[in-house]
Amino acid sequence: MEFRNIIDTQKSVLQRIELKDWKNRGIEVSVKRDDLLDEAISGNKWRKLYYNLQQALHQKSAGIFTFGGAYSNHLLAVAKACSLLGIPSLGFVRGEELTPASNHTLEECSAYGMKLEFLSRELYRLRNDKMFIDELKTEYPAYYAIPEGGANFYGMIGCQEIWKELPGDIDHVFVAQGTTTTSCGLLMGAGENTTIHAVPVLKGFEVKETMQKQLVYALFDEELTDSLLERVCLHDTYHFGGYGKYTEELLTFIQQIYAATGIPLDPVYTAKAFFAMYNELEQPCYDGQKVLFYHSGGIQGCKSVEEKEKIRFFHAG
């Protein structure tokens, strides 16, 4: 299959939503529904994979290897994309106690033909270490390596291109942050009057430093990087305890937003970012402003929470 045809980006509609008193205050909120791109090659993961897949094909790579945690949206996206393209895929998973049957994400990855190798936490920590990657490349010659979360230059460029599908007059963009690749890409493509509101889902994570490093790497320009970073507004108090943690309040919020808008949110990433936006828009400085919520997908990650909490998120009542 031609790689660009894997996903039809027209499925990612721009959905206007009206909640609270937004309408009276002239706040226009739209949601860029990248969650609708594909269930498995979901949201920002497709954006980050696009140019990586192109490279892997150009290099006639023997396969692709990458890294991810037990419920990784990225691993699943790579698994399905590779299966559609007929490229062997290999996933290095964090946690030697796991097996391909440990959860629905890993089961699905295997079903798409991804070979899974389980690494100890100690080894997994080396996932961005050049020597470790080189070692893996001697073990898997001619494989194309994609870092965890698709966090590389090509990933960023793919996210910058989301702007091709967006109106140019947006004042504020709210986006969930893991590795910061998506927010960096959005920042690179944003107009000079657009503020990027980044909501890190990890606790105590050096966001600005991470973004600075990635942007300098991509742009070769520290001044430009600093001027871009001035347009980032960090909301680092919405992590709900840290990565993968959530509260009863967040789960209830997910149900409320789904009932009011039909938009599903996941408790790891998008619900936290949406909660931040919902809260921040209370401030009068947003009156009359055009706001975009970038829905980065990740709904497959919900299944485990649903099972654990014995609730059905998306069926309020």
Ligand X SMILES: *Cc1c(COP(=O)(O)O)cnc(C)c1O
Minimum distance, C-beta of residue 24 to ligand X, in the bound complex (Å) = 31
Minimum distance, C-beta of residue 66 to ligand X, in the bound complex (Å) = 12
Minimum distance, C-beta of residue 181 to ligand X, in the bound complex (Å) = 4
Which among 2-10, 40-48, 127-135, 274-282 is the span making contact with ligand X, rule CB under 6 A?
A: 40-48
What is the distance between the alpha carbons of residues 273 and 211, in angstroms, rounded to a whole number? Answer: 18
Is 109 a binder of ligand X (CB under 6 A)?
A: no
222-261 residues near ligand X, rule: CB under 6 A: none
What is the distance between the alpha carbons of residues 47 and 285, in angstroms, rounded to a whole number? Answer: 31
Minimum distance, C-beta of residue 177 to ligand X, in the bound complex (Å) = 4
Is 177 a binder of ligand X (CB under 6 A)?
A: yes
> Please, which residues bridge with residue 68 across strands?
93
> Please, which residues bridge with residue 63 across strands?
143
H-helix segments, 96-247? 104-111, 121-124, 130-139, 153-160, 181-189, 207-219, 222-229
Residue type, 177: Q
Is 182 a binder of ligand X (CB under 6 A)?
A: yes
Count how many residues are written for the chain: 317
Q: Report how many residues bind ligand X under the rule CB under 6 A.
A: 21
Site string for ligand X, 62-101 (x = CB under 6 A): -----------xx---------------------------
Minimum distance, C-beta of residue 41 to ligand X, in the bound complex (Å) = 11
By beta-carbon proximity to ligand X, the closer residue of 30 and 300 is 300
Is 179 a binder of ligand X (CB under 6 A)?
A: yes
Contacts of 13 (CB under 8 A, 6+ apart): 33, 36
Q: Which of 149, 158, 264, 267 is close enough to bind ligand X by CB under 6 A?
A: 149
Structure tokens at 32: 């860029």
By beta-carbon proximity to ligand X, the closer residue of 211 and 281 is 211
By beta-carbon proximity to ligand X, the closer residue of 91 and 298 is 298
By beta-carbon proximity to ligand X, the closer residue of 33 and 45 is 45
What sign does the CA torsion over 184, 189, 190, 191 have? Answer: positive
Minimum distance, C-beta of residue 26 to ligand X, in the bound complex (Å) = 29
Q: Are 198 and 191 in contact (CB under 8 A)?
A: no
Minimum distance, C-beta of residue 297 to ligand X, in the bound complex (Å) = 5
Is 105 a binder of ligand X (CB under 6 A)?
A: no
Q: How far is CA 55 from the centre of its chain?
A: 20
Minimum distance, C-beta of residue 74 to ligand X, in the bound complex (Å) = 6
Q: Which runs of E-coded beta strand occur in the chain? A: 14-17, 28-33, 63-68, 89-94, 115-119, 143-145, 172-177, 195-200, 232-234, 290-295
Is 152 a binder of ligand X (CB under 6 A)?
A: no
At residue 233, the 3 state secondary structure works out as strand
Residues making contact with ligand X (CB under 6 A):
43-45, 73-74, 149, 151, 176-183, 266, 269-270, 296-298
